[in-house]
Amino acid sequence: MAEHVEAAAPQQIDPEDAKIVTLARASRARNGAAEGAAVRDTDGRTYAATTIALPSLRLTALQAAVAAAVSSGAEGLEAAAVVTDADSVDAGSAAAVRDLTPTAPILRADARGDVLGVLSH
CATH number of the domain bearing residue 62: 3.40.140.10
Determine what percent of the chain is predicted with pLDDT higher than 70: 91
Tell me the pLDDT tens digit for each residue of 83-103.
999 999 999 999 999 999 999
Burial of 83 (0-12, 13-18, 19+ CB in 10 A): buried
Nearest-angstrom CA–CA distance, 87 and 62: 15
Would 1 be classed as within a structural domain?
no
Nearest-angstrom CA–CA distance, 64 and 69: 9
Would 7 be classed as within a structural domain?
no
Q: Which domain holds residue 92?
A: 15-119
Would 22 be classed as within a structural domain?
yes
Would 3 be classed as within a structural domain?
no
CB atoms within 10 A of CB 95: 14
- Predicted confidence at residue 93, as pLDDT, reads 96
Q: Total domain count for the chain?
A: 1
| pTM for this entry | 0.91
Nearest-angstrom CA–CA distance, 67 and 59: 10
Tell me the pLDDT tens digit for each residue of 15-63.
999 999 999 999 999 999 999 999 999 999 999 999 999 999 999 999 9
The yes-or-no verdict on residue 8 having pLDDT over 80 is no
